[in-house]
Amino acid sequence: MYRRTDTVPVRVGNLTIGGNNQVLLQSMCTTKTADVAATVAEIKRLEEAGCQLVRVTVNNKEAAEAIKEIKKRISIPLVADIHFDYRLALLAIENGIDKVRINPGNIGRREKVEAVVKACKEKGIPIRIGVNAGSLENHLLEKYGYPTADAIVESALFHIGILEELDFHDIIVSLKASDVPMAIEAYTKAAQIIKYPLHLGITEAGTLFSGTVKSAAGLGVLLNAGIGNTMRISLSADPVEEIKVARELLKTFGLITDAPTLVSCPTCGRLDIDLFSVANEVEEYLSKLKVPIKVSVLGCAVNGPGEAREADIGIAGARGEGLLFRYGEMVRKIPEADLVSELKKEIDHIAAVYAET
Ligand code: SF4
């Protein structure tokens, strides 16, 4: 159903990443993981927004121990983000984590890597190798001089090799860079030679505005080429925004089936209503729905009826009022002051019909 480049499927909790499965959306908590109440509250908000698996930092023993309690209170798979300390990985696995993000080449002595791999194998837990252009191994920086797409891919192959040598194959790989062309090149090359699912991301992309543009530019190219099996948008913002952006991006490429679509015009001198407010309020309302309803909000009768015919519900602005269209038919006129509330009622009605089918 979701055409992707060929990868092996990898189980994460009750989900499967890779193969021809849906591109799964993830984010990362901003809370201290040891603060169970705050972390669970953030995960619930993320889940409501459409997050399908969530990562927490496991940077100390308290964080690793909190996993047990967090797992009891959430229903989406939980991923531990671990750097270097294999004991934290073992503790996270013991406490029920569903996936570990750790680079085996950074763990240290072979017996430490073996201990992590053995624990993951016993519990059927995958490992995500997270290569980042900003933290490439010294031997690669010496070879290439500076971070390049080839160096990123070679780093991924280096870590994969360590796991494969131990006969471990439940692997997911990310190859992140904040340089968009470099990330595109690295993922494109990796997709040709790495058989494991790819976790997409433009790292340190920036704020809500600039990070959204950068992520959409880079990840859009990859998604359109069938590359990528799970995705995290990295923003200096509330992580719920990361999920909203990710869902919008998947929707753009027809890779999600439960997201509403809003069509709205840029407005021009023909406009006679406050369309920006209407569009923003409707968009916010739609963002909470998980049905493929299409709503159009157009400023005037020039393009309004045409767009409304393609939508489930739509309005075309007129002087101080709006013409309401349902499934392409004009049904009534609504005073401008009531446009949003009436549209919400219509949306609820149509969403209920979708939910039943
Ligand atoms: Fe202008 Fe009407 Fe087109 Fe909106 S729909 S941009 S108001 S002509």
pLDDT digits (tens, 9 = 90+) for 290-317: 999 999 999 988 776 777 778 999 999 9
- For residue 265, tell me if it sits in a domain: yes
- For residue 2, tell me if it sits in a domain: no
Query: Which of 264, 265, 278 maximizes ligand 1 atoms within 8 Å of its Cβ, making it the mutation to test the pocket?
Result: 265
167, pLDDT greater than 90: yes
Ligand 1 atom with the shortest distance to the CA of 269: 1
**Mean pLDDT (whole number) for 168-191:** 97
Domain tally, the chain? 2
Amino acid at 59: N
Tokens encoding 1: 């159903």
CATH of the domain at 198: 3.20.20.20
Q: Which domain holds residue 21?
A: 10-252
- For residue 5, tell me if it sits in a domain: no
Cα dihedral 7→9→11→15 (10° resolution): 100
Ligand 1 pocket member 273 (CB < 6 A): no
Contact of 129 with 173, CB cutoff 8 Å: yes
244: left (phi over 0), alpha (psi -120 to 50) or beta: alpha
Query: Among 321, 330, 325, which residue's Cα sits nearest to residue 295?
Result: 325
Over residues 68-96, the pLDDT tens digits come to: 999 999 999 999 999 989 999 999 999 99
Same domain assignment for residues 222 and 341: no
Same domain assignment for residues 324 and 352: yes
Q: What is the pLDDT of residue 291?
A: 92
What's the CA gap between 91 and 123, in Å, rounded? 13
Same domain assignment for residues 175 and 129: yes
φ/ψ of residue 233, rounded to 5? -90, 125
Ligand 1 pocket member 271 (CB < 6 A): yes
Over residues 231-251, the pLDDT tens digits come to: 999 999 999 999 999 999 999
- For residue 122, tell me if it sits in a domain: yes
Ligand 1 atom with the shortest distance to the CA of 266: 6
Q: Which residue, by CA, sits nearest to atom 2 of ligand 1?
A: 300
Ligand 1 atom with the shortest distance to the CA of 265: 4
13, pLDDT greater than 90: yes
pLDDT band at 97, cuts 50/70/90? very high
pLDDT band at 279, cuts 50/70/90? very high
Q: Which residues of 35-57 are buried (b: 16+ CB within 10 A; e: fewer)?
A: bbeebbebbeebbebbbbbbbbb
Q: Which residue, by CA, sits nearest to atom 6 of ligand 1?
A: 267
Same domain assignment for residues 303 and 248: no
ipTM over 0.95: yes
Query: Which of 298, 307, 309, 310 maximizes ligand 1 atoms within 8 Å of its Cβ, making it the mutation to test the pocket?
Result: 298
What's the CA gap between 15 and 23, in Å, rounded? 11
Same domain assignment for residues 350 and 224: no
Over residues 18-41, the pLDDT tens digits come to: 998 999 999 999 999 999 999 999
pLDDT band at 165, cuts 50/70/90? very high
Q: What is the pLDDT of residue 2?
A: 67
- Residue list for the binding site for [4Fe-4S] cluster: 265, 268, 300, 307
Spacing, Cα 315 to ligand 1 middle (Å): 12
- For residue 125, tell me if it sits in a domain: yes
pLDDT band at 1, cuts 50/70/90? low
- Residue list for the binding site: 265, 268, 300, 307
CB neighbour list of residue 50: distance below 8 Å, 6 or more residues apart? 25, 243, 244, 246, 247, 259, 290
Q: What is the pLDDT of residue 216?
A: 97
| 3-class secondary-structure state, position 237 | coil
- For residue 1, tell me if it sits in a domain: no
Same domain assignment for residues 226 and 336: no
Same domain assignment for residues 175 and 307: no
- For residue 3, tell me if it sits in a domain: no
Q: Give 129's strand partners.
A: 173
Same domain assignment for residues 317 and 239: no
Q: What is the pLDDT of residue 108?
A: 87
Same domain assignment for residues 318 and 340: yes
CATH of the domain at 297: 3.30.413.10
Round the average pLDDT of the chain to a whole number and report it.
Answer: 94
Q: How far is CA 148 from the centre of its chain?
A: 25
Q: Which residue, by CA, sits nearest to atom 8 of ligand 1?
A: 302
